[in-house]
Protein backbone atom coordinates (compact mmCIF):
# COMPACT_ATOMS: atom_id res chain seq x y z
CA UNK A 1 0.00 0.00 0.00
CA UNK A 2 1.31 3.47 -0.81
CA UNK A 3 2.30 5.66 2.12
CA UNK A 4 0.59 9.01 2.55
CA UNK A 5 1.66 11.33 5.36
CA UNK A 6 0.22 14.57 6.71
CA UNK A 7 2.75 16.88 8.37
CA UNK A 8 1.14 19.69 10.32
CA UNK A 9 3.18 22.88 10.03
CA UNK A 10 5.12 21.28 7.20
CA UNK A 11 6.12 24.46 5.39
CA UNK A 12 8.92 25.63 7.66
CA UNK A 13 11.54 24.43 10.16
CA UNK A 14 11.39 20.84 11.41
CA UNK A 15 8.19 20.12 9.48
CA UNK A 16 9.69 21.19 6.16
CA UNK A 17 12.83 19.09 6.71
CA UNK A 18 10.63 16.11 7.57
CA UNK A 19 8.53 16.61 4.43
CA UNK A 20 11.63 16.57 2.24
CA UNK A 21 13.07 13.44 3.83
CA UNK A 22 9.80 11.51 3.78
CA UNK A 23 9.22 12.40 0.13
CA UNK A 24 12.68 11.01 -0.59
CA UNK A 25 11.57 7.74 1.03
CA UNK A 26 8.57 7.49 -1.31
CA UNK A 27 5.84 8.97 0.87
CA UNK A 28 3.23 11.19 -0.73
CA UNK A 29 3.20 14.27 1.51
CA UNK A 30 0.40 16.55 2.66
CA UNK A 31 2.16 19.75 3.67
CA UNK A 32 -0.13 21.61 6.05
CA UNK A 33 0.40 25.30 6.80
CA UNK A 34 -1.42 28.04 8.67
CA UNK A 35 -0.37 31.34 7.07
CA UNK A 36 2.86 30.93 5.13
CA UNK A 37 1.57 29.60 1.82
CA UNK A 38 4.77 30.56 0.00
CA UNK A 39 6.95 28.42 2.28
CA UNK A 40 4.61 25.42 2.03
CA UNK A 41 4.35 25.76 -1.73
CA UNK A 42 8.13 25.87 -2.10
CA UNK A 43 8.43 22.59 -0.14
CA UNK A 44 5.82 21.05 -2.43
CA UNK A 45 7.57 22.37 -5.55
CA UNK A 46 10.92 20.93 -4.42
CA UNK A 47 9.33 17.52 -3.79
CA UNK A 48 7.59 17.53 -7.17
CA UNK A 49 10.76 18.66 -8.94
CA UNK A 50 12.49 15.59 -7.47
CA UNK A 51 9.72 13.33 -8.83
CA UNK A 52 7.69 13.00 -5.63
CA UNK A 53 4.03 13.64 -4.81
CA UNK A 54 2.95 16.43 -2.48
CA UNK A 55 0.16 18.92 -1.89
CA UNK A 56 0.01 22.06 0.25
CA UNK A 57 -3.14 22.32 2.38
CA UNK A 58 -4.04 25.36 4.45
CA UNK A 59 -5.73 24.59 7.78
CA UNK A 60 -5.65 25.82 11.36
CA UNK A 61 -5.08 22.51 13.08
CA UNK A 62 -6.55 23.77 16.35
CA UNK A 63 -9.95 23.95 14.60
CA UNK A 64 -11.89 20.67 14.27
CA UNK A 65 -13.70 21.51 11.01
CA UNK A 66 -10.45 22.64 9.40
CA UNK A 67 -8.67 19.46 10.52
CA UNK A 68 -11.44 17.33 9.01
CA UNK A 69 -11.12 19.31 5.76
CA UNK A 70 -7.32 18.86 5.83
CA UNK A 71 -7.67 15.07 5.98
CA UNK A 72 -10.42 15.07 3.33
CA UNK A 73 -8.42 17.23 0.90
CA UNK A 74 -5.25 15.21 1.42
CA UNK A 75 -7.08 11.94 0.81
CA UNK A 76 -8.63 13.32 -2.38
CA UNK A 77 -5.27 14.53 -3.68
CA UNK A 78 -2.94 11.73 -2.54
CA UNK A 79 -4.96 8.75 -1.29
CA UNK A 80 -5.76 7.35 2.15
CA UNK A 81 -3.61 8.86 4.88
CA UNK A 82 -1.40 6.21 6.53
CA UNK A 83 1.02 8.32 8.57
CA UNK A 84 0.80 11.53 10.62
CA UNK A 85 3.35 13.96 12.06
CA UNK A 86 1.83 16.30 14.65
CA UNK A 87 4.47 19.00 14.29
CA UNK A 88 2.67 22.38 14.33
CA UNK A 89 3.45 24.32 17.47
CA UNK A 90 3.75 27.83 18.85
CA UNK A 91 5.27 29.73 21.72
CA UNK A 92 5.18 33.37 22.74
CA UNK A 93 7.57 35.91 24.26
CA UNK A 94 9.77 34.68 27.10
CA UNK A 95 8.20 35.54 30.48
CA UNK A 96 7.47 34.17 33.93
CA UNK A 97 4.30 32.20 34.60
CA UNK A 98 2.90 35.17 36.56
CA UNK A 99 3.15 37.31 33.42
CA UNK A 100 1.33 34.82 31.17
CA UNK A 101 -2.27 35.80 30.40
CA UNK A 102 -5.11 33.30 30.55
CA UNK A 103 -5.76 33.90 26.85
CA UNK A 104 -2.14 33.12 25.97
CA UNK A 105 -2.14 29.92 28.05
CA UNK A 106 -5.33 28.76 26.33
CA UNK A 107 -3.97 29.63 22.87
CA UNK A 108 -0.78 27.62 23.47
CA UNK A 109 -2.67 24.59 24.77
CA UNK A 110 -5.19 24.75 21.94
CA UNK A 111 -2.56 25.04 19.22
CA UNK A 112 -0.05 22.55 20.62
CA UNK A 113 -2.22 19.88 22.29
CA UNK A 114 -5.77 20.18 20.97
CA UNK A 115 -4.36 20.08 17.43
CA UNK A 116 -2.63 16.76 18.09
CA UNK A 117 -5.84 15.38 19.59
CA UNK A 118 -7.97 16.55 16.64
CA UNK A 119 -5.50 15.27 14.05
CA UNK A 120 -5.15 11.92 15.81
CA UNK A 121 -8.95 11.56 15.80
CA UNK A 122 -9.22 12.41 12.11
CA UNK A 123 -6.34 10.03 11.38
CA UNK A 124 -7.99 7.13 13.23
CA UNK A 125 -11.19 7.66 11.24
CA UNK A 126 -9.26 7.39 7.98
CA UNK A 127 -6.57 4.80 8.84
CA UNK A 128 -7.62 1.48 10.32
CA UNK A 129 -3.96 0.33 10.38
CA UNK A 130 -1.21 -0.40 9.82
CA UNK A 131 0.12 3.11 10.25
CA UNK A 132 2.14 5.38 12.49
CA UNK A 133 1.99 8.74 14.23
CA UNK A 134 4.89 10.86 15.52
CA UNK A 135 4.15 13.71 17.91
CA UNK A 136 6.72 16.51 17.98
CA UNK A 137 7.03 17.37 21.66
CA UNK A 138 9.96 19.23 23.22
CA UNK A 139 12.70 18.95 25.81
CA UNK A 140 10.60 21.60 27.55
CA UNK A 141 8.25 18.79 28.64
CA UNK A 142 11.00 17.71 31.03
CA UNK A 143 12.69 21.03 31.88
CA UNK A 144 9.47 23.01 32.48
CA UNK A 145 11.03 26.06 30.75
CA UNK A 146 11.10 28.32 33.84
CA UNK A 147 11.30 32.09 33.14
CA UNK A 148 10.73 31.40 29.43
CA UNK A 149 7.45 29.65 28.65
CA UNK A 150 5.93 27.35 31.26
CA UNK A 151 2.73 27.37 29.20
CA UNK A 152 4.56 25.87 26.22
CA UNK A 153 6.33 23.31 28.44
CA UNK A 154 3.00 22.27 29.97
CA UNK A 155 1.51 21.79 26.50
CA UNK A 156 4.38 19.48 25.55
CA UNK A 157 4.04 17.53 28.81
CA UNK A 158 0.38 16.95 27.94
CA UNK A 159 1.40 15.86 24.47
CA UNK A 160 3.78 13.25 25.90
CA UNK A 161 1.07 11.83 28.15
CA UNK A 162 -1.35 11.66 25.21
CA UNK A 163 1.33 9.94 23.11
CA UNK A 164 1.67 7.21 25.73
CA UNK A 165 -2.05 6.66 26.16
CA UNK A 166 -2.84 6.68 22.46
CA UNK A 167 0.00 4.28 21.70
CA UNK A 168 -1.61 1.73 24.01
CA UNK A 169 -5.08 2.29 22.56
CA UNK A 170 -3.89 1.78 18.98
CA UNK A 171 -1.23 -0.93 19.41
CA UNK A 172 -3.78 -3.70 18.82
CA UNK A 173 -4.62 -2.39 15.35
CA UNK A 174 -1.01 -1.96 14.24
CA UNK A 175 -0.80 1.82 14.56
CA UNK A 176 2.36 2.90 16.37
CA UNK A 177 2.48 6.25 18.22
CA UNK A 178 5.79 7.78 19.30
CA UNK A 179 7.24 11.15 20.18
CA UNK A 180 10.37 13.19 19.61
CA UNK A 181 11.62 15.80 22.07
CA UNK A 182 13.82 18.32 20.24
CA UNK A 183 15.64 21.18 21.91
CA UNK A 184 17.78 24.11 20.68
CA UNK A 185 17.03 23.57 16.98
CA UNK A 186 17.86 26.33 14.49
CA UNK A 187 14.39 27.46 13.30
CA UNK A 188 12.26 30.64 13.25
CA UNK A 189 10.58 29.62 16.50
CA UNK A 190 13.11 31.32 18.79
CA UNK A 191 12.37 34.70 17.18
CA UNK A 192 8.72 34.15 18.18
CA UNK A 193 9.97 33.83 21.76
CA UNK A 194 11.66 37.23 21.38
CA UNK A 195 15.24 35.95 21.12
CA UNK A 196 16.35 34.93 17.59
CA UNK A 197 19.86 34.17 18.92
CA UNK A 198 18.68 31.93 21.79
CA UNK A 199 20.34 28.79 20.43
CA UNK A 200 23.72 30.52 20.07
CA UNK A 201 23.45 31.95 23.61
CA UNK A 202 22.74 28.53 25.12
CA UNK A 203 25.19 26.54 22.99
CA UNK A 204 28.02 26.57 25.58
CA UNK A 205 25.66 24.91 28.10
CA UNK A 206 24.61 22.14 25.69
CA UNK A 207 26.78 19.01 26.16
CA UNK A 208 27.37 18.75 22.37
CA UNK A 209 28.18 22.52 22.39
CA UNK A 210 25.91 23.47 19.51
CA UNK A 211 22.32 23.74 18.39
CA UNK A 212 20.70 21.09 16.22
CA UNK A 213 19.42 21.27 12.64
CA UNK A 214 15.86 20.59 11.51
CA UNK A 215 17.22 17.68 9.48
CA UNK A 216 18.67 16.04 12.60
CA UNK A 217 15.19 16.00 14.12
CA UNK A 218 13.57 14.95 10.85
CA UNK A 219 15.81 11.89 10.61
CA UNK A 220 14.48 10.60 13.94
CA UNK A 221 10.88 11.26 12.88
CA UNK A 222 11.43 9.40 9.61
CA UNK A 223 12.89 6.43 11.47
CA UNK A 224 10.03 6.28 13.98
CA UNK A 225 7.49 6.29 11.13
CA UNK A 226 9.37 3.62 9.21
CA UNK A 227 9.08 -0.17 9.31
CA UNK A 228 12.60 -0.19 10.79
CA UNK A 229 10.92 0.97 14.01
CA UNK A 230 8.25 -1.74 13.76
CA UNK A 231 8.61 -2.80 17.43
CA UNK A 232 8.69 0.76 18.82
CA UNK A 233 5.57 2.36 20.23
CA UNK A 234 4.89 4.69 23.15
CA UNK A 235 8.55 5.72 23.03
CA UNK A 236 10.38 9.04 22.86
CA UNK A 237 13.63 10.15 21.27
CA UNK A 238 15.36 13.15 22.88
CA UNK A 239 17.15 15.35 20.32
CA UNK A 240 18.67 18.11 22.42
CA UNK A 241 22.43 17.64 22.23
CA UNK A 242 22.60 15.73 25.50
CA UNK A 243 20.28 17.94 27.59
P1 LIG B 1 8.61 26.98 13.21
O2 LIG B 1 9.77 27.05 12.27
O3 LIG B 1 8.17 28.21 13.94
O4 LIG B 1 7.37 26.34 12.42
C5 LIG B 1 6.14 26.18 13.06
C6 LIG B 1 5.16 25.65 12.05
O7 LIG B 1 3.90 25.45 12.69
C8 LIG B 1 4.92 26.59 10.88
O9 LIG B 1 4.98 25.85 9.68
C10 LIG B 1 3.50 27.11 11.12
O11 LIG B 1 2.78 27.37 9.92
C12 LIG B 1 2.88 25.95 11.84
N13 LIG B 1 1.71 26.32 12.65
C14 LIG B 1 1.65 27.09 13.75
N15 LIG B 1 0.38 27.17 14.19
C16 LIG B 1 -0.38 26.41 13.37
C17 LIG B 1 -1.77 26.11 13.29
N18 LIG B 1 -2.65 26.58 14.19
N19 LIG B 1 -2.20 25.31 12.27
C20 LIG B 1 -1.33 24.82 11.35
N21 LIG B 1 0.01 25.07 11.38
C22 LIG B 1 0.47 25.86 12.37
O23 LIG B 1 8.87 25.92 14.37
P24 LIG B 1 9.81 24.63 14.52
O25 LIG B 1 10.93 25.02 15.40
O26 LIG B 1 10.06 23.97 13.23
O27 LIG B 1 8.82 23.75 15.40
C28 LIG B 1 8.17 22.58 14.96
C29 LIG B 1 7.79 21.79 16.19
O30 LIG B 1 8.99 21.46 16.90
C31 LIG B 1 6.89 22.54 17.17
O32 LIG B 1 5.91 21.68 17.70
C33 LIG B 1 7.86 22.95 18.27
O34 LIG B 1 7.21 23.10 19.52
C35 LIG B 1 8.82 21.79 18.27
N36 LIG B 1 10.12 22.11 18.90
C37 LIG B 1 10.99 22.98 18.31
C38 LIG B 1 12.19 23.26 18.97
C39 LIG B 1 13.22 24.21 18.40
O40 LIG B 1 14.25 24.41 19.05
N41 LIG B 1 12.99 24.82 17.25
C42 LIG B 1 12.48 22.66 20.18
C43 LIG B 1 11.56 21.79 20.73
C44 LIG B 1 10.39 21.51 20.07
P45 LIG B 1 3.10 28.65 8.96
O46 LIG B 1 4.38 28.30 8.26
O47 LIG B 1 1.94 28.74 8.03
O48 LIG B 1 3.25 29.84 9.85
Using one digit for the tens of pLDDT, what is the confidence trace for 42-78?
A: 999 999 999 999 999 999 999 999 999 999 999 999 9
Digit-coded pLDDT (tens) for 202-235: 999 999 999 999 999 999 999 999 999 999 999 9
CA-atom Rg of the chain in angstroms: 17
Please give the number of the atom of ligand 1 that sits closest to the Cα of 111: 18
Cα-to-centroid distance, 172 and ligand 1 (Å): 31
Which DSSP letter does residue 210 get?
A: S
Report the nearest-CA residue for atom 12 of ligand 1: 9
Angstrom CA distances, 89 to 10, 61, 235, stand at 11, 10, 20
Q: Is the pLDDT of residue 180 over 80?
A: yes
Q: SS3 breakdown of the chain: % helix, strand, coil, rounded to 5?
A: 50, 15, 35
Q: Give mean pLDDT, residues 33-42.
A: 98
Predicted TM-score (pTM) of the model is 0.98
The CB of 150 under 6 Å from ligand 1? The reply is no
- The pLDDT > 70 percentage for the chain reads 100
Q: Is the pLDDT of residue 193 over 90?
A: yes
- The pLDDT > 90 percentage for the chain reads 100
Mean pLDDT rounded to a whole number for the chain: 98
Strands 54-58 and 4-7: unpaired
CATH assignment of the domain containing 38: 3.40.50.720
Q: Is the pLDDT of residue 1 over 80?
A: no
Report the nearest-CA residue for atom 9 of ligand 1: 9
The CB of 86 under 6 Å from ligand 1? The reply is no
E strand spans, the chain: 4-7, 28-33, 54-58, 83-86, 131-136, 175-182, 236-239
- 152 belongs to the catalytic site: yes
* Contact status, residue 198 vs residue 152, Cβ threshold 8 Å: no
Q: Is the pLDDT of residue 14 over 90?
A: yes
pLDDT of residue 39: 98
> Which one of the listed residues 27, 33, 149, 152 is annotated catalytic?
152
Q: What's the number of CA atoms in the CB half-sphere (13 Å) around residue 81?
A: 31
Cα–Cα nearest to 222, from 13, 9, 20: 20
Number of separate domains in the chain: 1
Report the nearest-CA residue for atom 32 of ligand 1: 89
- State the residue range of the domain holding 113: 4-239
pLDDT of residue 224: 99
Amino acid sequence: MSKVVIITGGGRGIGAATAQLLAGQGYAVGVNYLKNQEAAQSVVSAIRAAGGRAVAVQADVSNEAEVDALFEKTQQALGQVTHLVNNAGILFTQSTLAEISTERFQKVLTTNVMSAFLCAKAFIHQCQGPGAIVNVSSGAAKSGSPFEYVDYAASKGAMDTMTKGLSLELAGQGIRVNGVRPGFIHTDMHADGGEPGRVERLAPQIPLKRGGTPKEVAQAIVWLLSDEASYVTGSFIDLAGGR
